[in-house]
Structure 1
Amino acid sequence: MREEGVTDRDLARAVTAGTLLHPRRNAYLPMGVPVDTVDAVSIGGLLTCTSELRRAGVFVMERADLDVHLPEHASRVPGISRPVRRHWGRLVRRPHPCATSVEPLDAVACAVRCQSPRAAIASIDSALQRGYVHRDDLRELFGALAGRYTALLPLVDGRAESGPETLVRLILRALGLRYEVQVRITGVGRVDFLVDGWLIIECDSEEFHADWEAQRRDRRRDQAAAARGFAVYRPIAEDIMWGPEEVVAAIRGLFSGTAGGALSRRVA
């Protein structure tokens, strides 16, 4: 700001007027910046890991209250009135001097280290789907991680439109089932998964399916699918994330019965 002719007095006036925040010496932020960002800057760090992914709209399943990356030379870090998970270490990509977050690749790498393997894959898929990182970044991303994480790379897909979709894909893969992703079915529309040619799996999440109108649309789609000989299973996000054994049992149960009978089905 000073390079643009802004004086200390101008900055003080802006802070007093409520158009600028002054969380730390020589640090100014516009009003409306997320609280996580303000808190990270206030202790001399950058938003990172699951906190940065959450800010960017990327799916995270296992998160801290606040993740902050601190300079390697930081010795005394001021405390704030909330839990902070502090991260040190060299970054792969140097942030801009005025940045309030680490670069996307570093945030994703950090989130991979701090989550379980399935949650990490879901975060990478989400980051790819949202364009937060790109496929060309994957080699550099996994190069920045310890060798044990290399096993996750073949499991990354990037087509899932939600974290729960990735988690269900991993379940189907582990069960050895034949499945297609984002399939368009005549008279029904696009579905999340078509398994073995007869079972439609739609991954509900509270975020997108909380209102009754959305539920009505979903049920009419299910009705149209049933009329065409398909079975439909809608696990809720809570079970997908925190009770996957229940989802596995449900899918196994469907395949142990006669639901995959010889009705004629048409897939566009």
Structure 2
Amino acid sequence: MSGRDITEAVRSGHLLRLRRDRYARVPIDEDVAEAVRVGGHLSCLSLLKSMGIFVLVCTGLHVQITQGTSRIRKPKFRTTRLHWNPVRECETIHAAHLHDALRQAIRCQSARAALATLDSVLHHKLMTLNQLEGVFSTLPARYGVLLSLVDPTAASGPETFMRLILRALGLRYETQVHLPGVGYVDFLVEGWLIIECDSKEWHEGWDKQVEDRHRDIAAAKLGCVTIRPLASEILHDSARVRESVASVIEVLGPRFMPDAVRNSSKTRSSVSCTRAKATILAKLEEL
């Protein structure tokens, strides 16, 4: 396009001028537009959230600024966070490299939230474990504890948080277990307790409620008890959920024989909380 063509497109509203030599077709995502207007790239929690990766909380815009960039404009909002000195060169005009976005997101969140983000990246196959190790090689050594806890079988943020709750309780559990007549369940704990991490997104509507009830009855026929803590409570009131799970185990645990259920399950992964893993959890609390 010639300069005259660009000027006419801006006047007619077909193009939006963000900054010098930076134009966007209308409509454009507001976060992307603001990041480019400031002089940077959409990054960190803002970029990951836009990609469908789990982010617990993102209250402001995150923008990556390359060192040496001139004429940085003042952000419109006080909550905007500017990140400097990326490791990887940006592949697009508007978005940071995933490596840098994830590296920044690890440092901008609590340890548990960061772990849920890491699980989500692996689950969606946006990175391999080796590539994730490359991200951690650019972080302080203390963050390495997170890498030892990642699990790509976690299909959602609440599942990551629940996994940490079960580890803290020292319970044996299996993730994404297939039970005859039931299908896959999120967690099978001590061979008899099924925990489903229900969220409004995936369990809304009467048809879904009917399906869940049929699954619970089928599980009961196998000798399993099913509990469904709300995703919102798992994420924001983990102490209450942990207390509830511990109470169920204490009251009902002695009545169940786990071997029959465990032998009939087809599991993708099985984890037992050892003393070493308990030590890892303690380090997680320190981050």
TM-score (norm 1): 0.91
Deviation for aligned residue 1:157: 1.0
Alignment of structure 1 residues 32-47 onto 2, 5 Å: 32-47=27-42
| Structure 1 residue 204: Cα displacement | 1.0
Separation in structure 1 between the aligned mates of residue 16 and residue 201 of structure 2, nearest angstrom: 31
Query: Conserved in 2, the CA contact under 8 Å of 1:68 and 1:84?
Result: no
- Deviation larger for 233-242 or 214-223: 214-223
2:260 maps to 1:262: no
Q: Residues of 2 paired with 1:30 and 1:211: CA distance?
A: 38
Judge conservation of contact 1:129–1:161 (CA < 8 Å) in 2: yes
Partner of residue 143, structure 2: 149
Shift of 1:261: 1.5
Aligned counterpart in structure 2 of residue 51 of structure 1, from 9, 23, 46: 46
Aligned AA (1:90): N
2:39 touches 2:71 (CA, 8 Å); kept in 1?
Answer: no
Distance 1:89 1:100 in 2: 15
The 3 A distance-change label for structure 1 pair 89 and 80 is: closer
In structure 2, the gaps of 5 or more residues are 267-287
Q: Which deviates further from its counterpart, 84-93 or 213-222?
A: 84-93
Matched residue, 2:3: 8
Question: What is the deviation of 1:56?
Answer: 0.5
State which of 129, 140, 149 in structure 2 corresponds to 1:135.
129
Counterpart contact for 1:72–1:88, Cα < 8 Å? no
3-state SS of paired residue (1:28): strand
Give the secondary-structure state (helix, strand or coil) at the position aligned to 2:4.
Answer: helix
Counterpart residue number, 2:206: 212
After TM superposition, give the deviation of residue 80 of structure 1 in Å: 4.3
Q: Which residue of 2 aligns with 1:178?
A: 172
Q: Percent identity?
A: 41
Cα offset for 1:143? 0.7
- Residues in 2 aligned to 1:88 and 1:54: alpha-carbon distance in whole angstroms: 17
8 Å contact kept, 2:60–2:81: no
Structure-2 change in CA distance of 1:90 and 1:246 (3 Å): same
TM-score between both structures, scaled by the size of structure 2: 0.85
More deviation, 228-237/241-250: 228-237
CA distance in 1, matches of 2:3, 2:70: 28
Aligned residue pair count: 262
CA shift in 2, pair 1:208/1:30, >3 Å: farther
**Separation in 2, partners of 1:143, 1:85:** 27
Do the aligned partners of residues 162 and 151 (structure 1) sit closer, same or farther apart at CA in structure 2, a change above 3 Å counting?
same
CA deviation profile, 1:182-223 (whole Å, cap 9, x unmatched): 111000001111111101111111222222222221222112
CA shift, 1:62, in A, is 2.9
Name whichever structure is richer in helix by fraction.
Answer: 2
For each residue in 1:53-104, what CA deviation from the matched residue of structure 2 results, as whole angstroms up to 9, or x when unmatched? 10100001132321111232357543344334333332121012x4211111
5 Å-filtered alignment, 1:61-210, equals 61-74=56-69, 77-96=72-91, 98-210=92-204
Q: Distance in 2 between matches of 1:19 and 1:183?
A: 52
- SS of equivalent residue, structure 1 residue 79: coil
Structure 1 residues not aligned, in runs of 5+: 1-5
What is the CA-CA distance between 1:140 and the residue it aligns to? 0.9
Q: Does 1:27 align with 2:25?
A: no
The one-letter code matched in structure 1 to 2:203 is H
Structure 1 residues 206-215 or 231-240, which shifts more? 206-215
